[in-house]
Amino acid sequence: MSFKSISELLNGLTQKEFSSVELTRDYLKRIQQYNAELNCFITIAEDQAVEAAETADKRRETGAAGLLEGIPVAHKDLFCTEGTLTSCASNMLSNFIPPYESTVTRRFLEAGAVCLGKTNMDEFAMGSSNENSHFGPVRNPWDSTRVPGGSSGGSAAAVAAGLCAAATGTDTGGSIRQPAAFCGITGLKPTYGRISRLGMIAFASSLDQAGPMARSAEDCALLLQVMAGHDPMDSTSAQQAVDQYSHNLGSELKGLTIGLPKEYYNEGLDPTIGQALQEAIKTYESLGATIKEVSLPHTSLSVPAYYVIAPAEASANLARFDGVRYGKRCDSPADLDDLYMRTRAEGFGAEVQRRILIGTYVLSAGYFDAYYRQAQKIRRLIKNDFVEAFGQVDLLLCPTTPDCAFPLGSKSADPVQMYLEDIFTIPTSLAGLPALALPCGQANGLPIGLQLIGNYFQEARLLNAGHQYQQRTDWHLQHPTLG
């Protein structure tokens, strides 16, 4: 049962082939068996999960089943969950028990999903490899010597290893799509504002967006149906109607025009990934899509612009963690300055400290105009590139990452090389567009991911295009063999 799709699991529950309790216990058994090696979970909510599964079975018996009734899922450990540790993989919040539920996790509860626990991540979602966690690195289930990607690496690895049916992630500069590509699963970054950010611990407020991570585009459509929608408690939540994503997966692709941004197909792309993408392009042509080359001329400026804007917002958001209100507090501070300095030095890891320092610098007097304002101007140029491209095409098809999952520790000493891992995902984040990552091949036993980018609030079109591709291929059905 561990590698079945959500649709298959729902059908099995409906047909009484198994109960939610049996399904939940099966996943919990796998978590106990493999989590010590993979380190996917920070918190395993065994008792609460079994209790929720029992409730789900009762509701199903009475005909009151929700859309995800009895389906075991996991949540990235930056979604506040009432009464359950929410640490953001940081020493700073290693004792934080939220008194309220995030909108995303509440909607899962209302849909009948069973929460198995909270997944590991890069601390405060800052990273591309999941090596920055206070609780240790997550390992890729395809090869435990390699990274799963970040910052939603725990969620991606848990889905890939069959430790949950699906998981939530967040994407600031590629943190759903990059780990989805590295772990051979499907991950969707929705349009900014499509999903509420209430109760989602902030990294960069103008960029952070929650999204689903699962085995297929069809599963992601089911999850997005639960997650999407306006939230009056979140001022960044869009007042936009929610499509019936699962009902829109049968549309033919004839007449669809797919653009290939020439800046993404350059010498920096691994040739094996390039070849896998060419095969995917042929598949889309066979499905009736028209392929056209387009240009996104400001792509090369996206990484430097992002690493000004995101740290600037992080420095403001993380100022609240000062040892006074909640979270970690240093022992026996001499005075208020000592309290602030030692709490933050002890509570934050190296990468978080680096980004706070960068962000504080670019926002400081004398440097704001030179760095932050210029980065925001570049952000507008990048958005305009996409707007112009979508005047010519319906979707864009490009790589998700420049290479496959790299060895643990191989890029930790070089932050710039690590930051460049997001070169193909950051432009979409800066523009606030939706994008879908899905597996399209393998190289030396490691998954390869392609990325589809859509226009604003065109998640239904994206998911349909992904689903049609997965109807013709079986890369999304492949899964690692665990020892």
CA distances from 259 to 268, 299, 313, 341, 396 (A): 20, 15, 32, 50, 5
Contact 298, 381 (CB under 8 A): yes
Residue keyed to tokens 């991606």: 156
Residues with a known catalytic role = 76, 151, 175
Q: What is the DSSP string of 251-277?
A: ---TT-EEEEEGGGSSTTS-HHHHHHH
> Dihedral (C-alpha) 439, 441, 445, 448: value to the nearest 10 degrees?
-50
- Token pair for 183: 């772990």
The arrangement of strands across the sheet holding 257-261 comes to 41-44, 114-119, 72-76, 166-171, 209-214, 186-189, 435-443, 446-454, 395-399, 257-261, 290-294
Least Cα distance to 463 among 166, 167, 131, 220 occurs for 220
154: left (phi over 0), alpha (psi -120 to 50) or beta: alpha
Please provide the DSSP assignment of 109-143 as one string. HHTT-EEEEEE--SGGG--SSS---TT----BTTB
Question: What is the DSSP code string of 384-438?
Answer: HHHHHHTTT-SEEEEES-SSSPPBTTSSTT-HHHHHGGGTTTHHHHHHT--EEEE
CA distance 90 to 134: 5
- Return the closest-CA partner of residue 159 out of 199, 211, 112: 211
Q: From residue 265, how far is each of 81, 228, 294, 400, 444 by CA, in Å?
A: 41, 32, 11, 11, 21
Q: Are 440 and 448 in contact (CB under 8 A)?
A: yes
Which residues have C-beta within 8 Å of that of residue 303, sequence separation ≥ 6?
419, 420, 422, 423, 426
**DSSP states of 177-240 as a string?**
HHHHHHHT-EEEEPPTTSB--TTB--S-TTT-EEEEEESSHHHHHHHHHHHBS--TT-TTS---
- The Cα–Cα gap between 251 and 47 comes to 42
